[in-house]
């Protein structure tokens, strides 16, 4: 399923409303650390493996499209 995701920095939460997720990350967006944290948090939230969470677009943006298998 595809979700649109909004990122908020310096916070720690996951909020899902329909097909939109707002997620807080504490990692800085350097070297892909924030993206790795996003994948890890979403995998835990949805109870799937990290390999089932894929960033489809927005790798360098606060707005992303993510697919969760």
* Average pLDDT per consecutive 10 residues, the chain (69 residues; last block may be shorter): 96 96 95 96 97 96 96
Q: Distance between CA 69 and CA 55 in Å, rounded?
A: 12
Please tell me the predicted confidence (pLDDT) of residue 44. 97
What are the DSSP calls for 11-36, one per residue? ---EEEETTEEEEEE-S-SSTTHHHH
**Ordered domains of the chain (ranges, CATH):** 2-68 (3.30.1200.10)
* Burial class (CB within 10 angstroms; exposed 0-12, middle 13-18, buried 19+) of 66: buried
Please tell me the predicted confidence (pLDDT) of residue 42. 97
Answer yes or no: pTM beyond 0.85.
Answer: yes
């Amino acid at each position: 399923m595809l979700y649109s995701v909004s990122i908020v920095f310096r916070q720690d939460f996951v909020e899902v409303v329909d097909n939109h997720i707002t997620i807080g990350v504490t990692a800085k967006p350097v070297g892909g650390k924030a993206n790795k944290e996003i994948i890890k948090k979403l995998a835990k939230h949805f109870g799937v493996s990290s390999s089932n969470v894929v960033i489809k677009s927005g790798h360098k943006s606060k707005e992303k499209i993510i697919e969760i298998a």
